[in-house]
């Protein structure tokens, strides 16, 4: 209906902790956002124009991060939506759920094709958090629509199990060659070649892996944590750091958009220009 | 000398509870799976001359088990741990975790300077009487190749093994040690 905003559902599994700020970012790009508990009747979850699985620790990461949530009935609704081309974004723990549900990379048989394995970092192990630089590629994705390949997007990562990998040689090859990777970790020269620019040892420096027909994205870093310019550290290098310092010097507007808004703006374009 | 150490929470294990709930409510095992227990399994290798220091390590440090919240069982001898039914052993594909723990113990406890620790997760299902092939059922519980099949191991991150009869000492020693 003309004039109506596209409606996006943010699914609140027990233990997630980024649902409200994710909804705020969706609203900031002109979308209607609702936070829905995961155990609502399917009829109340179905029918949205897009879905976001936010970050956090659903089911306390028990067994494996995302593994329990991926078996919940709500994922049947999302699997059906994904097959119908509805955009679905999983951020961090949400990405882990999408991977465990077989939606990323995803195919008709529903097989789990990749894992978000434990971080591999020289000289350390476990949970790790830092600002990273992402670079978009030319892989078709609902969350990069209208975004030129090579666009730099700084945002924080914070996880212990975030290394995209696969035991399937074909799928692993897709990660290595970037054919399923619309967002990759980057350093000054391009794709990140090592730690800490690639903060977890992900194959192909994959930060985000796409599924379906480009409508499903599992993204490990947190764009909602850099969606306002004031969230970017003043010490951040590069163009966004310069903008942040200038913003401070000019006593800038708190509402000024940050780099993490780019994937959400792309989603808004996908939903309104389709 | 090789030994096994089984470490379990003194309180009900929340990961086992969630996995049990997923199996019985989502994966069709209601009435078939009666109970699911989870433990950390440590495969320990140490020179015979240092073996006597293992028990004090468990009793007086929190490196392998925290006595405030966990029970640790040290199983020595060639027979390993006898089993009543199938168990599922899950470890990283890259090798059983334990490198960092091994390094820390060797650094802080010179009396165990030859110790090698390998670690995996041990799942023990209890099935209803009359289940025709418990070993096959245990295998299906582990094999998480789709979200509607198993759960305990993601084939791209983990490997699993279903054991029956006993867990032999050195069960994890065939693989290299990874962090």
A91-124 per-position pLDDT tens digit: 999 999 999 999 999 877 889 999 999 999 998 8
Check pLDDT > 60 for residue B175: no
Region A115-141: what's the mean pLDDT? 94
Q: From the list B148, B151, B157, which residue is nearest A117 (CB)? A: B157
Q: Residue B122: its pLDDT value, please? A: 98
Residue contact A62–B151, C-beta within 8 A: no
- Distance from B130 to chain A by nearest Cα, in Å? 27
The interface pTM score, or ipTM, of the predicted complex is 0.90
Region A266-270: what's the mean pLDDT? 98
Region A157-183: what's the mean pLDDT? 96
**CA–CA distance, A229 with B90 (Å, rounded to integer):** 44
Q: Residue B178: its pLDDT value, please? A: 47
Closest CA relative to residue B33, chosen from B133, B122, B136, B137: B137
Q: What is the pLDDT of residues A9-50, one digit of tens each?
A: 999 999 999 999 999 999 999 999 999 999 999 999 999 999
Q: Residue A149: its pLDDT value, please? A: 97
- Distance from B100 to chain A by nearest Cα, in Å? 8
Q: Give the phi and the psi of residue B134 in degrees, each rounded to 5.
A: -60, -35
For residue B159, what is the nearest residue in chain A, using CA coordinates?
A: A167
- State the catalytic residues of A: 92, 222, 224
**CA–CA distance, B177 with B179 (Å, rounded to integer):** 7
Q: CA–CA distance from B141 to each of B14, B88, B123 (Å)?
A: 18, 9, 10
Residue contact A63–B179, C-beta within 8 A: no
Q: B144 in contact with A at a CB cutoff of 8 Å?
A: yes
Mean model confidence pLDDT for chain A = 95
CA angle at residue A53 from A29 to A85, to 5 degrees? 75
Q: Residue A193: its pLDDT value, please? A: 85
When pLDDT is cut at 50, 70 and 90, the band that residue A251 belongs to is confident
Quote the percentage of chain A above a pLDDT of 70: 99
Quick count: other Cβ atoms within 10 Å of Cβ B32? 15
Q: What is the dihedral of CA A134, A137, A140, A141, to 10 degrees?
A: 10
Q: What is the pLDDT of residues B52-93, one digit of tens each?
A: 989 998 888 998 999 999 999 999 989 999 999 999 999 998
Which residues does chain B have within 8 Å of residue A113's beta carbon, measured at their own beta carbons?
156
CA angle at residue A112 from A141 to A182, to 5 degrees? 20
Q: B120 in contact with A at a CB cutoff of 8 Å?
A: no
Which residues does chain A have within 8 Å of residue B145's beta carbon, measured at their own beta carbons?
111-112
When pLDDT is cut at 50, 70 and 90, the band that residue B96 belongs to is low
Mean model confidence pLDDT for chain B = 92
Describe the strand order of the beta sheet including B33-45 as a list of residue ranges: B70-76, B2-9, B33-45, B116-127, B87-92, B158-163
When pLDDT is cut at 50, 70 and 90, the band that residue B123 belongs to is very high
Look-up of token digits 């939506």: A81
The residues with which A124 forms a beta bridge, in sequence order, are: A121
Q: Residue B173: its pLDDT value, please? A: 85
Residue contact B147–A168, C-beta within 8 A: no
Q: B155 in contact with A at a CB cutoff of 8 Å?
A: yes
* pTM for this entry: 0.94
Instruction: State the pairing for strand pair A7-12/A32-37.
Output: parallel
Residue contact A115–B156, C-beta within 8 A: yes
Closest CA relative to residue B12, chosen from B32, B34, B38, B49: B38
For residue B142, what is the nearest residue in chain A, using CA coordinates?
A: A63
Q: From the list B15, B27, B92, which residue is nearest A118 (CB)? A: B92
Q: What element of type H or E holds B135?
A: helix B134-142
Q: Residue A35: its pLDDT value, please? A: 98
Instruction: State the pairing for strand pair A7-12/A50-53.
Output: parallel
- Distance from A260 to chain B by nearest Cα, in Å? 29
Q: Are B91 and B175 a contacting pair, CB within 8 Å?
A: yes
Both tokens of residue A153?
């997007």
**CA–CA distance, A266 with A6 (Å, rounded to integer):** 13
């Amino acid at each position: 209906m003309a004039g109506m905003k596209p409606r996006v559902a943010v699914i609140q599994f027990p233990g997630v902790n980024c649902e409200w700020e994710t909804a705020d970012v969706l609203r900031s790009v002109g979308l209607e956002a609702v936070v829905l508990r995961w155990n609502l009747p399917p009829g109340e979850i179905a029918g949205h124009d897009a879905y976001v699985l936010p970050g956090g620790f659903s089911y306390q990461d028990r067994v494996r991060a995302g593994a329990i949530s991926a078996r919940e009935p709500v994922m049947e609704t999302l699997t059906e939506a994904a097959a119908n081309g509805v955009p679905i974004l999983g951020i961090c723990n949400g990405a882990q759920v999408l991977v465990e549900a077989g939606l990323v990379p995803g195919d008709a048989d529903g097989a789990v094709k990749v894992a978000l394995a434990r971080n591999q970092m020289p000289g350390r192990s476990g949970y790790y958090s830092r600002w990273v630089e992402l670079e978009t590629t030319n892989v078709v994705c609902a969350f990069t629509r209208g975004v030129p390949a090579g666009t730099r997007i700084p945002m924080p990562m914070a996880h212990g199990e975030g290394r995209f990998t696969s035991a399937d040689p074909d799928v692993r090859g897709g990660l290595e060659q970037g054919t399923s990777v619309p967002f990759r970790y980057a350093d000054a020269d391009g794709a990140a070649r090592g730690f800490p620019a690639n903060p977890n040892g992900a194959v192909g420096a994959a930060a985000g892996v796409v599924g379906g027909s480009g409508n499903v994205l599992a993204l490990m870093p947190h764009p909602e944590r850099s969606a306002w310019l004031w969230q970017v550290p003043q010490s951040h290098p590069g163009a966004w750091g310069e903008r942040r310092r200038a913003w401070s010097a000019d006593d800038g507007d708190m509402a000024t958009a940050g780099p993490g808004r780019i994937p959400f703006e792309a989603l808004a374009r996908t939903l309104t220009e389709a | 000398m090789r030994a096994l150490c089984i470490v379990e929470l003194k309180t009900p294990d929340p990961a086992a509870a969630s996995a049990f709930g997923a199996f019985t409510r989502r994966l069709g095992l209601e009435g078939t799976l009666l109970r699911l227990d989870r433990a950390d399994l440590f495969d320990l290798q140490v020179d015979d001359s240092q073996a006597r220091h293992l028990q004090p390590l468990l009793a007086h440090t929190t490196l392998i088990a925290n006595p405030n919240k966990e029970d640790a069982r040290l199983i020595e001898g060639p027979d390993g741990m006898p089993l009543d039914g199938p168990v599922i052993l899950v470890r990283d594909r890259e090798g059983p975790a334990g490198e960092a723990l091994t390094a820390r113990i060797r650094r802080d406890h010179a009396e165990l300077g030859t110790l090698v620790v390998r670690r995996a997760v041990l799942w023990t299902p209890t099935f209803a009487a009359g289940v025709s092939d418990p070993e096959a059922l245990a295998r299906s519980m582990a094999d998480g190749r789709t979200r509607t099949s198993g759960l305990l191991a993601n084939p791209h991150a983990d490997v699993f093994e279903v054991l029956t009869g006993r867990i032999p000492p050195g069960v994890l020693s065939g693989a290299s040690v990874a962090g």
